[in-house]
Amino acid sequence: MNEKDPAAGPGKRTLRRDFLAVRNALPASDLREAAGALARRALELPELARARTVAAYVSVGSEPGTLALLDALRARGVRVLLPALLPDNDLDWGEYTGPGSLARVQHGGKMALFEPAGERLGADAVTAADVVLLPGVAVDARGMRLGRGGGSYDRVLARLDRAGAHPALVVLLYDTEVVASLPEEAHDRPVHAVVTPSGVHRFPC
């Protein structure tokens, strides 16, 4: 999600800018190669192997690519949910049934997003997911995630907590985005694993 972060301190903002600058400099060939490697690595995760429903997202720009993974999950018979950004930065959800089920949506001056074009299932639909794939720009050695700054997925994680839902939380990143330490705020929650083109890192949540 390409959104402004009103609460984050300068440490997060500076780090986010630096990580995104590195991403944006990656050549298209590297992005394609990384997307294929990420899909292969992610599909080896036991959590995804046994999942019936996965909440995911469609990558945009230089984000680690997700479309190959989404299609592979569908081919396995997995129900894939994708987010739709609401005016208050919360997320509604819809089902992914292939590339034809996506619509390109421009949210004001923000980056255009690819969202499910079909029926909206409500913000609570994510609580049925066995795995939630979270976007991010970095994860540290404790599993703390640096997001894009809009707070949308902080709301998702809070909603999961309120519902007593405990899906596996997984972030897709480039290898250089797994770092020793990141700034942490009270609402931040650790993830269970991060997948990069070279492997999987797990954390004791």
Question: What pLDDT shows up at residue 41?
Answer: 96
What are 46-96's pLDDT values in tens digits?
999 999 999 999 999 999 999 999 999 999 999 999 999 999 999 999 999
**Side chain identity, residue 53:** T
Q: For 109-138, what is the mean pLDDT?
A: 93
How far is it, in rounded angstroms, from Cα 163 to Cα 186? 20
Q: Cα 186 to chain center, whole Å?
A: 20
Residues making up the binding site for substrate: 58, 63
How far is it, in rounded angstroms, from Cα 202 to Cα 142? 9
Q: Is 26 helix (H, G, I), strand (E, B) or coil?
A: coil
What are 135-179's pLDDT values in tens digits?
999 999 999 999 988 889 999 999 999 999 999 999 999 999 999
Q: Is 148 helix (H, G, I), strand (E, B) or coil?
A: coil
Residues making up the binding site for ATP: 12-16, 145-153
Residues making up the binding site: 12-16, 58, 63, 145-153
How far is it, in rounded angstroms, from Cα 21 to Cα 87? 27
Token pair belonging to 108:
């004001």
The CATH homologous superfamily for domain 10-202 is: NagB/RpiA/CoA transferase-like (3.40.50.10420)
Domain boundaries, the chain: 10-202
